[in-house]
Structure 1
Amino acid sequence: MKDVTLFLSKWKQIIQKLENNNGKVHPIEIGKKATIQEIEAKEKELGYQLPPSYKYILNNLGSSLSFYYSFSEDTIIPSEFNEIFSGEINWNIDFLQDLNMLADELMEDGEDYGATLRGKLEFSHAGNGDIYAFDMSVESDEKPVVYWEHEEDTVTYIADSFIDYLLRITELGCIGSEKWQFEYFLSDTGLDTTNTAAAKWKHWFESFSETTLDDVKNNMEQLIAFAVYRDKLDEESIDFLRKFSRNELFDYLLEELDKKESFKDQKMICEVIGKVLGNYADSWVRSLWEAKQDIMDSRLRSFLTSMCLSKDEGLTLVFNFLEQESNKKITGYDALSHLGDFHSRDVILWMENHVKFPVTEGWDELFVRSNFSRDDIERWTSLDERHEVTVIHALEKYVYMKVANNKFFYGISGLPSKSDFIDFLAKLQAKQVLKKRILSLEYVIQNINIFY
């Protein structure tokens, strides 16, 4: 019984640690202990003798057990373990399943998909549908724990027995049940709690704590890492970053930008440059346009241009780029990704010559993000069909975006009174033939208060 008490003690410590650091936790739930008679009845039903260590846990701890946790978004997990986000253990005697039957069901058109399930007995599953099972084909009383990937139809060795599995996964903090979360620690003999990666992970897990802005606000490198990890740069973080030497900050950001591989991380570094340094980085941004070869994703260059150069200079550069690169076949998504951060009505003027169907593929959102006015609405609804439909879907998107985000900051200048605006929308609706456009305008009218 000592090992059962030890498991429970360690699991409670893990759960408590996550709760103390604002993690999301589903506490430990334990079913009643299974009697010897209930276990024997289950064995008779399945036609298998259950592994001794599994029966021991059922009889001395519980016939079922489950708990789950996920880390707080403000817990900075080391980058080498970036696929780990949660932890979990679960089993239930009632969910034991002979996978031979499942293998038979999965056979299609002569293909033996699911062949690796044969001789396996499921005792648990991962959140993505993969399966934890005992390999009943092994000729010993104890049966190894294996993991079946449903997409690849492959089996991975996890541990020598059920209790061995519990010992290993517990030592690793009960990390998430999906393979991509624990594969850092896999070897030919299953979960390896002694390899280099495991040692690093255990050291971090024992000492980690949720990171707050107060923890990193006085350390430039940590503050930038905090913003990149959270993929969020709020006004308070910007204020703290502006207290550092601009030259030192800029040099460090360029070093970090060169190191980052993912677009998301690069975008975050560019956001720090744009929002914190602004026109201090103007010469560097111009050099990105003058370079003879692309040294940065063009979308990031356009973003930096919107933040660091004057509106006139920046828009001229981006307009010319889009028109030259696309050979006048500019998609709405391209236009949005390059012009959406300028928030300028000059973009709406430029759009008049380039907008095309389908307008819902970026053009409507770009219209919203370019601070359109009453005059723009009236002008565009008097132009071609593509312009009128852009306005219809832009108004609909405006409502969606404002409902979804209380901090939505786009305003519409020059709006008429509420009754006059409803009359305008009703007349625009009456002109429509397609049901989709009629319903879009009906949605806008029903939510007219959003605009006031």
Structure 2
Amino acid sequence: MEINKFLSKWEQILHKLNSNNGKVFPIEIGKRATAQEITAKEKELGYQLPPSYKHILLNLGKSLSFYYSFSNDTMIPSEFKEIFSGEINWNIDFLQNLDTLADELMEDGEDYGKTLRGKLEFAHAGNGDVYAFDMSVEGEEKPVIYWDHEDDSVTYIADSFIDYLFRITELACIGSEKWQLEYFLSDTGLVTTSSAAIKWKNWFNSFSETMLDDVKNDMEQLVAFVVYRKKLDEKEINYLQKFNRKVLFDFLLKELHKKEVLNNQRIICEIIGRVLGDYVETWVKSLWEDKKTVIDTRLRSCLTSMCMSKDEGLSLVFNFLEQVSNKQISGYEALSHLGDFHSRDVISWMEGHVKFPVTEGWDELFFRSNFSWEELERWTMLEEKHEVTVIHALEKYVHDTVSNNKHPHDILTIPTKLEFIDFLVNLRGKQVLKRRVMPIENVIQNINIFY
């Protein structure tokens, strides 16, 4: 009866995920074990298998696996942000007496793996951690533990194998990595009745994949939808622009100051910039006037690129970079402040600041600043660092075009295909290092994408 309940519940969980565009793998169950197979396995391992584990092997299957992961458009509550999938697996053939592994680690002279002694592995997590029985505990049934390979620590999961199946199933089979389980762990193992567990179960039972049509008329939900997906498309922009600008801006400001993760702050700034634009220009200017910057300076530069005039905005960012860096500006720093301007004026400024290694941001910045054919030619006649910047920027142009099936930008005054090839062949002939020759050859092979 309990086996049928497990199977029914697991199928319900997978059906729930499948109905909401999650990634679902059907349950795979091996043949039932025979008493002879179990006896042989116990002799091989030097341990008697726990009764509830043997019961499952004999009456359900000697192996089982199923896995699911949530759709990217499923908005999992922020307090459970580390949960992304569910999994259960075991296989009688993978049973391992971990004393052997502990001995091997000891022979290597490592003070590591001592907690493996007296453990019998029956499954492992996707990150390499281990699920095992603690065979050192008295009694026929053995508790299920989780061994963390990073710090050689043991976490109590459940009182027995059948208890583990009940608990993990009650929690919608989340895991198998420890960081997905931690919301529900205590000294007595997985807890299914805590306030966190109840909230999780209620959410899981009622959740559905969130679609744009579901939230387009609710400002707060629409913003949450965009922040969760870290993606702002034209459709979302159009819907956001229908709300009162002041109400929207006030709400976004509150959200901006509530978020602690830079990526969440960045997407909110993108909403402010792309949806409200010059409506918030005065506010963006005030960010430069306030000596105590209330947001990350990189986000301030991003907002400046979208909400202020190009000339005024670039002047502010250029001055800021030169002051704080004492003119020793790194490529990544320049990219983080100037990459959103997509301006050829940035290339002129770069000319006096670019330095090796150019692949640490400078090539990306050149690429994102809408370079023209004139700049390509001129930079290859400057210093070596400028020439190498061009080589890797062209490589990025090819990669981005192939990946997105469209040009990042049209190259102004681009010559004929034959002239472009001649330019690349000459550029290749000047190179000594293979790591510079290969990108040029790749551009030559993909020359058609420029036209």
TM-score category, normalised to shorter length: over 0.9
* Cα separation, 2, equivalents of 1:356 and 1:145: 56
1:149-176 deviation digits (Å, cap 9, x = unpaired): 0011010110000000000000000001
Residue type of the alignment partner of 1:343 = H
Structure 1 residue 444 displacement after superposition: 0.9
Residue type of the alignment partner of 1:101 = T
Residue type of the alignment partner of 1:193 = T
The aligned residue for residue 361 of structure 1 is 360
The aligned residue for residue 431 of structure 1 is 430
The aligned residue for residue 112 of structure 1 is 111
Q: What is the alpha-carbon root mean square deviation over aligned residues? A: 1.0
Structure 1 residue 407 displacement after superposition: 4.6
* Cα separation, 2, equivalents of 1:273 and 1:406: 28
The aligned residue for residue 373 of structure 1 is 372
The aligned residue for residue 396 of structure 1 is 395
* Cα separation, 2, equivalents of 1:91 and 1:128: 16
1:182-241 deviation digits (Å, cap 9, x = unpaired): 110011110000011001000000001000000000000000000000110111001000
8 Å Cα contact 1:368-1:410 kept in structure 2: no
* Cα separation, 1, equivalents of 2:326 and 2:405: 39
Secondary structure at the residue paired with 1:244? coil
Residue 408 and residue 300 in structure 1: after superposition, are their counterparts in 2 closer, same or farther (change >3 A)? Answer: farther
TM, length-normalised to structure 2: 0.99
Residue 408 and residue 228 in structure 1: after superposition, are their counterparts in 2 closer, same or farther (change >3 A)? Answer: farther
The aligned residue for residue 225 of structure 2 is 226
Mapping for residues 310-349 of structure 1, pairs under 5 Å: 310-349=309-348
* Cα separation, 2, equivalents of 1:255 and 1:268: 14
The aligned residue for residue 51 of structure 1 is 50
* Cα separation, 1, equivalents of 2:211 and 2:408: 26
Uncovered stretches (5+) of structure 2, i.e. residues with no partner: none
Mapping for residues 8-407 of structure 1, pairs under 5 Å: 8-107=7-106, 110-407=109-406
Range with greater deviation from structure 2 (97-106 or 380-389): 380-389
Structure 1 residue 16 displacement after superposition: 0.6
8 Å Cα contact 2:397-2:408 kept in structure 1: no
* Cα separation, 2, equivalents of 1:14 and 1:358: 50
Residue type of the alignment partner of 1:451 = F
1:350-378 deviation digits (Å, cap 9, x = unpaired): 11111111111111111111111111111
The aligned residue for residue 6 of structure 2 is 7
Secondary structure at the residue paired with 1:127? coil
1:253-294 deviation digits (Å, cap 9, x = unpaired): 000001000001000100100110011111111111011112
How many residue pairs get matched? 451
8 Å Cα contact 1:131-1:147 kept in structure 2: yes
8 Å Cα contact 1:70-1:87 kept in structure 2: yes
Structure 1 residue 112 displacement after superposition: 3.1
Residue type of the alignment partner of 1:415 = I
* Cα separation, 1, equivalents of 2:27 and 2:373: 57
8 Å Cα contact 2:147-2:153 kept in structure 1: yes
* Cα separation, 2, equivalents of 1:275 and 1:41: 67
* Cα separation, 1, equivalents of 2:39 and 2:434: 64
Range with greater deviation from structure 2 (118-127 or 42-51): 42-51
Secondary structure at the residue paired with 1:54? helix
Structure 1 residue 110 displacement after superposition: 4.5
Residue 232 and residue 270 in structure 1: after superposition, are their counterparts in 2 closer, same or farther (change >3 A)? Answer: same
Residue type of the alignment partner of 1:182 = L
Residue 216 and residue 408 in structure 1: after superposition, are their counterparts in 2 closer, same or farther (change >3 A)? Answer: farther
* Cα separation, 2, equivalents of 1:370 and 1:57: 62
Structure 1 residue 408 displacement after superposition: 4.7
* Cα separation, 2, equivalents of 1:188 and 1:359: 52
Residue type of the alignment partner of 1:420 = E
Structure 1 residue 178 displacement after superposition: 0.4
* Cα separation, 2, equivalents of 1:134 and 1:389: 57
Secondary structure at the residue paired with 2:286? helix
Residue type of the alignment partner of 2:15 = Q
Residue type of the alignment partner of 1:91 = W
* Cα separation, 2, equivalents of 1:383 and 1:102: 59
Residue type of the alignment partner of 1:356 = K
Secondary structure at the residue paired with 2:381? coil
* Cα separation, 1, equivalents of 2:179 and 2:433: 47
* Cα separation, 1, equivalents of 2:107 and 2:245: 64
* Cα separation, 1, equivalents of 2:123 and 2:432: 55
Residue 109 and residue 66 in structure 1: after superposition, are their counterparts in 2 closer, same or farther (change >3 A)? Answer: closer
8 Å Cα contact 2:105-2:112 kept in structure 1: yes
Residue 91 and residue 21 in structure 1: after superposition, are their counterparts in 2 closer, same or farther (change >3 A)? Answer: same
8 Å Cα contact 2:400-2:408 kept in structure 1: no
* Cα separation, 1, equivalents of 2:377 and 2:186: 66
* Cα separation, 2, equivalents of 1:169 and 1:363: 49
Residue type of the alignment partner of 1:445 = I
Residue 407 and residue 448 in structure 1: after superposition, are their counterparts in 2 closer, same or farther (change >3 A)? Answer: closer
Residue type of the alignment partner of 2:97 = D
* Cα separation, 1, equivalents of 2:39 and 2:407: 62
1:64-107 deviation digits (Å, cap 9, x = unpaired): 00000000000000000000000000000010000000111112
